[in-house]
Amino acid sequence: MGIDPAVASGLIDSARVIEPSEPSDAPPDVAGSLLAELAAGGDLVDEGGFSIDAGKALDKLRGFALADPHAYVLLLIEAAVLGGADPIEIELGAGVVSIELGPIEFSREELEQLFAAVFIDLSDADPVERRRRRALQKLAFACNAALSLEPKQIEIESGGQGSEGLHVRLSPEQKLGELESRKLVAGARVRVHHGAIASLAQVQSPEEALIRSHCAYSPAAIFIGDERISQGLRFALHVQLVPDELRFSPQVRKRTRITLDGAPIGLAGLRYSGNQPAVVSILTNGVLAERFELGSASRRAAPDFGAIVDVDLPKDLGQAKLLRGPEFTRVLDAIWAVHDKIAPAKFGDATGVASDQPAERSHEGIYLPMLILGIGTVLTMFGFGSGGWLMTLGLATAALGVVILLFRIPRN
């Protein structure tokens, strides 16, 4: 398995959380030392990289654990998105987390050397092969995190079209796994067995809580059992009046598609958020990776601006922070381009840099109708089951809120 030293160096050197404007406080030889240790235990290969032993790679990865090891399930969802699963089906119950990774296939060597995949070379891969290798990387990161929870076992299955499949069983005692050939259906899947006793003590498992909080706005169709969890990118820009009922919430003004190299990657618009700072949400492969305020002292962003994108951006070895490199900068530039296009005219000049004029407060006057609409919606929901006067009052109140809102929404 070819390992790209440049890729590995970037990952390792960024394992500490470093903002773009902050100088690194990491020792300058962190990346070099770890790479030297890995290379010393491996063999040089023709591509200019080196192959490393999966056991040594796993030992090194333990120093870069997830803040919450249960987030392994989010890495598995990323692997499923990259693997082409549609829909992404997750089963939670009886102490077992099961997820289908889609019509993807892994080789015997890749599964035997699973943890070496985090340093795999992507430079020579076409787009389809790159996604497959990235799915393998996410799988390796996920298994590394899940093993820290000491599950009873982790099962990985990879079935090929018309060929015998591969079954790998990992456990705290056999971290590198035991591989055997089996008759399997096509595609790949993962099952993490935690044990039924642990699950009985929980109303909602940590995995379920993470899926609901990080995948609510995913464009991928993500299901837990029969319930669809993901609602789509556009709902991330709504101002929620009623939890779990986003369709009752006002949509953004000037909703605009964000593109990169001609391909759509997300949406942006001006939210009815009460002059709040501009916010950007970045998803990687359908999973929320970071949410941060846009702008700085040198370049202000328009209040109420919101943007959400879904891009396969690289993260540090701890999978906690997006790498601030050329790819991240290109995505940020694409967001700024849309911001400068839709920002209120009085906010700044044509370049989007803030002027001395105060930000346009075009959202003033909508708070009362939004409140009325919210009250009406709640009353309608409470009266839905019983009908009668409460439901009628709720519908009338909501209708009044909508009428007032239509008259007060700015027409820019």
Contact between 142 and 75 (Cβ < 8 Å): yes
DSSP helix/strand/coil, 18: coil
Does a structural domain hold residue 43? yes
- Claim to verify: residue 132 and residue 241 sit in the same structural domain: no
Nearest to 117 by CA among 75, 71, 162: 75
Angle between helices 54-61 and 30-40 (to 10 degrees): 150
**Per-residue confidence at 182, pLDDT binned at 50, 70, 90?**
confident
Kindly report the three-state secondary structure assignment for every residue of 165-189.
Answer: EEEEEECCCCCCCEEEEECCCCEEE
- Claim to verify: residue 91 and residue 118 sit in the same structural domain: yes
Render pLDDT for 55-77 as a digit per residue (tens, 0 to 9): 666 666 666 667 889 999 999 99
pLDDT value at position 87?
Answer: 96
- Claim to verify: residue 285 and residue 325 sit in the same structural domain: yes
Average pLDDT over residues 258-280: 91
Contact between 174 and 80 (Cβ < 8 Å): no
The per-residue b/e assignment along 120-146, b for 16 or more CB within 10 angstroms, e otherwise, is bbeeeeeeeeebbbbbbbbbbbbbbbb
Average pLDDT over residues 103-107: 93
Continuous segment of H or E residues that includes residue 153 = strand 153-159
- Claim to verify: residue 196 and residue 307 sit in the same structural domain: no
pLDDT value at position 316?
Answer: 81
Average pLDDT over residues 289-318: 91
Average pLDDT over residues 221-226: 96
Does a structural domain hold residue 403? yes
Does a structural domain hold residue 351? no
Which of residues 185, 212, 228 is at a domain's end?
A: 228
Higher pLDDT, 147 or 317: 147
Contact between 90 and 78 (Cβ < 8 Å): no
- Claim to verify: residue 222 and residue 241 sit in the same structural domain: no
Is pTM beyond 0.95 here?
A: no
pLDDT value at position 93?
Answer: 87
Position 126 pLDDT exceeds 90? yes
**Per-residue confidence at 200, pLDDT binned at 50, 70, 90?**
low
- Claim to verify: residue 298 and residue 181 sit in the same structural domain: no
Percentage above 70 pLDDT, the chain: 69
Report CA-CA distances (Å) from 238 to 245, 247, 270, 273, 356. 11, 9, 10, 9, 29
Position 6 pLDDT exceeds 50? no
- Claim to verify: residue 170 and residue 140 sit in the same structural domain: yes
Percentage above 90 pLDDT, the chain: 45
Position 363 pLDDT exceeds 80? no
pLDDT value at position 66?
Answer: 76
**Per-residue confidence at 367, pLDDT binned at 50, 70, 90?**
low
Does a structural domain hold residue 86? yes
Average pLDDT over residues 272-287: 90
Render pLDDT for 286-299 as a digit per residue (tens, 0 to 9): 999 999 999 998 99
pLDDT value at position 25?
Answer: 35
Does a structural domain hold residue 14? yes
Contact between 86 and 101 (Cβ < 8 Å): no
- Claim to verify: residue 136 and residue 254 sit in the same structural domain: no
Continuous segment of H or E residues that includes residue 206 = helix 206-214
- Claim to verify: residue 303 and residue 155 sit in the same structural domain: no
CA gap 255, 3 in Å, rounded: 42
DSSP helix/strand/coil, 202: coil
**Per-residue confidence at 321, pLDDT binned at 50, 70, 90?**
confident
Continuous segment of H or E residues that includes residue 224 = strand 222-224
Which of residues 228, 259, 279 is at a domain's end?
A: 228
Position 390 pLDDT exceeds 80? no
- Claim to verify: residue 93 and residue 214 sit in the same structural domain: yes
pLDDT value at position 70?
Answer: 94
| Domain of 386, in residue numbers | 367-408
> What value does the mean pLDDT of the chain take?
77
Contact between 199 and 93 (Cβ < 8 Å): yes
We report the CATH number of the domain holding residue 82 as 3.30.565
Q: In what order do the strands lie in the sheet with 178-182?
A: 178-182, 165-170, 153-159, 187-193, 96-102, 88-93, 222-224, 227-228
Task: Give the number of other Cβ atoms within 10 Å of residue 260's Cβ.
Answer: 17
Does a structural domain hold residue 361? no
pLDDT value at position 63?
Answer: 63
* CB-based contacts of 78, cutoff 8 Å, min separation 6: 135, 138, 284, 285, 286, 287
- Claim to verify: residue 48 and residue 158 sit in the same structural domain: no
- Claim to verify: residue 136 and residue 194 sit in the same structural domain: yes
Position 24 pLDDT exceeds 60? no
Flag the least confident range among 32-36, 125-129, 298-302: 32-36
Number of domains in the chain: 4
Position 152 pLDDT exceeds 70? yes
Does a structural domain hold residue 359? no
Does a structural domain hold residue 350? no
Position 302 pLDDT exceeds 80? yes
